[in-house]
Amino acid sequence: MQNCIRWAVLLGRGKTDIKSIRKQIPALESCTYFNCGTFGPTPTVVANEAVRLTRLIETKGPYDRDVNDEILTLFETSRDGFANYVGVSTDEIALTRNVSDGINIVASGFDWNPGDEVIITDEEHPSGSLPFLNLSERYGVQVKLLRFQTNTNEILKDLESLITDKTKLVFLSHVSTVDGARLPAKAVGEFLKARNIPFMLDGAHAIGQFPVSIKDLSCDFYAGCGHKWLLCQQGTGFLYVAKNWLTRLKTSWVGWGMTDQYDLDSLSYTSLETAQRFEFGTRYWATHASAVKALEFHNAIGAENIYERSHDLASKLKARLLDIPGITIKTPLHKAESTGIVAFSTAGLKHPEPGNWLWNEHRILTAHNPDTKSMRIAAAFYLLETEIHMLADKLSELAS
Domain ranges of the chain: 65-296, 303-397
Per-residue pLDDT in tens (0 to 9) along the chain, 400 residues: 444 444 444 344 445 589 999 999 999 999 999 999 999 999 999 999 999 999 999 999 888 999 989 999 999 999 999 999 999 999 999 999 999 999 999 999 999 999 999 999 999 999 999 999 999 999 999 999 999 999 999 999 999 999 999 999 999 999 999 999 999 999 999 999 999 999 999 999 999 999 999 999 999 999 999 999 999 999 999 999 999 999 999 999 998 889 999 999 999 999 999 999 999 888 888 899 999 999 999 999 999 999 999 999 999 999 999 999 999 999 999 999 999 999 999 999 999 999 999 999 999 999 999 999 999 999 999 999 999 999 999 999 999 6
Class of the domain covering 65-296: alpha beta
Domain 303-397, CATH: 3.90.1150.10
Give pTM, 2 decimals.
0.94
The H or E element containing residue 193 is helix 185-194
Neighbours of 336 (CB within 10 A): 8
What is the C-alpha separation between 275 and 287, in angstroms, rounded?
Answer: 19
What is the C-alpha separation between 296 and 80, in angstroms, rounded?
Answer: 12
Facing residues of 222 across strands? 201, 240
* 30 burial level (CB within 10 Å; 0-12, 13-18, 19+): exposed
Q: What angle do CA 123, 128, 134 make, to 5 degrees?
A: 120
